[in-house]
A and B are shown apart, each in its own frame.
Chain A
């Protein structure tokens, strides 16, 4: 009798415990659920600004992403269409206010297969890595092998010494600290302002080989901006894509810079464009550039139908020293841009603004 009573008592306790945790689970969404909801809202409201193919897509859960200290900093979701992955979205964890940290219309970097890992380390822990996110497009698979930690760069599949890993991502306590918006998961639809800047590629086979193989993102960004002015602002005498990208390459890069170093410096991006446009009968374009610009500079220019050049530089979350064309923004602080690497992308401006160069061009 006593045993039966104890059994009933334990059963009741277990039942109540299970019930309470179920109620809790039903009442509060887990972090990953909030992140997934935000990813879905992002796809529905802004997906087409990332890529015109992002309609009728579904989200597939990807790996959880960690920082170098082992904190969960985000959740990765693969954007799948017709069973093919066509992009990915990284939603920040609560540390990053469930913001969209990355959205890119390219397949996510391959996580090394078990066989690949086995070939290198016989005793890696079941070959299940932690994915470390170290800034835009920089993902590492982190394996524990005994007491050692080994990292593999997911884009190159090269081994990286974990001591050499440096993160570009701003620390949680620095992230959006000047923002009064704190998203608790009850997301609201945001307003997007975007202009149709054509997407071009710096590797385009129409370009002369010495050009397309030669740090060509600055001139290609200039050409995307020029195309917008040509087709949407009626500056019809400006040449279309690749017809005279060489001209931009010359004014922004070769004539001034190539004897010294790679690429287009910020102080020649705008002036190069201005000189080039003048040669086509459009004098009086004006330009300026600066770092750590306010978000209002971007909103002001886009509202006035003027795309901007951005050079992500040291400590930015995006690829360092790389030029892209800004084409839009939303009220969550996301900046949409065309990356001449050949895709469109969006990134949270607060995460990259400090050292990024913003170049305005207007007339």
Chain B
């Protein structure tokens, strides 16, 4: 059972990674054209991120697989970076959405550090 849960936690991180191309592609378009006809890519990445984050971190925190903390931090950083497009075209109206979207990445990083500190 423990092994299954650990696999599930790693799978959660994989899910987060799988959603990232959508946000990177949206960011690329936004960066290169200063325009984005649809923010669906960012939205889908965030939704996928929430699902993966829940799966990975709840189980990861409980079972604390080896090296999980460092991958959790790395995935969190890559996730946050995928929203780089907002850097060139940010308006206050997007603040709520941006925070909503960034939460999975922030949580991944925070939980990664928490697991590391807990292990000491």
A interface residue numbers (CB < 8 A to B): 153, 155-156, 214-215, 217-218, 257-266, 311, 313-315, 319-323
**Beta-carbon nearest neighbor of A320 in chain B:** B29
- Interface residue? B36 (CB, 8 A): yes
Interface pair A263/B93, CB less than 8 Å apart: no
Chain B residues with CB under 8 Å of A259's CB are 93, 96-97
Interface pair A262/B89, CB less than 8 Å apart: yes
How many angstroms between the C-alpha atoms of A201 and B69 in the bound complex? 50
**Beta-carbon nearest neighbor of B97 in chain A:** A260
Q: How many A-B residue pairs have CB under 8 A?
A: 88
Contact of A261 (CB < 8 Å), options: B25, B28, B29, B43:
B43
What is the CB-to-nearest-CB distance from A9 to chain B, in angstroms, rounded to a whole number?
Answer: 62
Chain A residues with CB under 8 Å of B38's CB are 218, 262-266, 311, 313, 321-323
List 15 A-B pairs, Cβ < 8 Å: A155-B32, A215-B36, A215-B39, A217-B35, A261-B36, A261-B39, A261-B94, A262-B37, A262-B39, A263-B39, A313-B41, A320-B28, A321-B26, A322-B35, A323-B37
Chain A residues with CB under 8 Å of B94's CB are 260-262
How many angstroms between the C-alpha atoms of A111 and B43 in the bound complex? 36
- Interface residue? B56 (CB, 8 A): no
**Beta-carbon nearest neighbor of B40 in chain A:** A265
How many angstroms between the C-alpha atoms of A260 and B22 in the bound complex? 16
B interface residue numbers (CB < 8 A to A): 21-22, 25-26, 28-30, 32-33, 35-43, 89, 91, 93-94, 96-97, 100-101
Interface pair B97/A264, CB less than 8 Å apart: no
How many angstroms between the C-alpha atoms of A264 and B41 in the bound complex? 11
Interface pair B37/A261, CB less than 8 Å apart: no
What is the CB-to-nearest-CB distance from B37 to chain A, in angstroms, rounded to a whole number?
Answer: 4
Chain A residues with CB under 8 Å of B30's CB are 262
Interface pair A321/B25, CB less than 8 Å apart: yes
What is the CB-to-nearest-CB distance from A120 to chain B, in angstroms, rounded to a whole number?
Answer: 20
How many angstroms between the C-alpha atoms of A262 and B28 in the bound complex? 14
Interface pair B26/A260, CB less than 8 Å apart: no
What is the CB-to-nearest-CB distance from A167 to chain B, in angstroms, rounded to a whole number?
Answer: 13
Chain B residues with CB under 8 Å of A153's CB are 32
What is the CB-to-nearest-CB distance from A175 to chain B, in angstroms, rounded to a whole number?
Answer: 20
Chain A residues with CB under 8 Å of B42's CB are 261-262
What is the CB-to-nearest-CB distance from B43 to chain A, in angstroms, rounded to a whole number?
Answer: 6
Chain A residues with CB under 8 Å of B29's CB are 319-322
What is the CB-to-nearest-CB distance from B110 to chain A, in angstroms, rounded to a whole number?
Answer: 23
How many angstroms between the C-alpha atoms of A214 and B93 in the bound complex? 11
Contact of B33 (CB < 8 Å), options: A218, A265, A315, A319:
A319
Given contacts A261-B43, A320-B29, contact A218 B37 (CB under 8 A): yes
**Beta-carbon nearest neighbor of A312 in chain B:** B37
Given contacts A314-B21, A321-B29, contact A264 B93 (CB under 8 A): no
**Beta-carbon nearest neighbor of B29 in chain A:** A320
Interface pair A321/B93, CB less than 8 Å apart: no
Interface pair A320/B35, CB less than 8 Å apart: no
- Nearest 8 pairs between A and B by C-beta? A261-B39, A260-B97, A217-B37, A262-B36, A262-B39, A265-B40, A263-B38, A322-B37
What is the CB-to-nearest-CB distance from B82 to chain A, in angstroms, rounded to a whole number?
Answer: 12
How many angstroms between the C-alpha atoms of A311 and B22 in the bound complex? 14
How many angstroms between the C-alpha atoms of A322 and B33 in the bound complex? 10
How many angstroms between the C-alpha atoms of A266 and B22 in the bound complex? 14
**Beta-carbon nearest neighbor of B32 in chain A:** A156
Which residue, A155, A214, A261, A320, has most C-beta atoms of chain B within 10 A?
A: A261
**Beta-carbon nearest neighbor of A261 in chain B:** B39
Given contacts A260-B100, A262-B89, contact A313 B40 (CB under 8 A): yes
Chain A residues with CB under 8 Å of B96's CB are 259-260
What is the CB-to-nearest-CB distance from A359 to chain B, in angstroms, rounded to a whole number?
Answer: 11
Contact of A215 (CB < 8 Å), options: B21, B28, B35:
B35
Chain A residues with CB under 8 Å of B32's CB are 153, 155-156
Interface pair B36/A321, CB less than 8 Å apart: yes
Interface pair B37/A311, CB less than 8 Å apart: yes
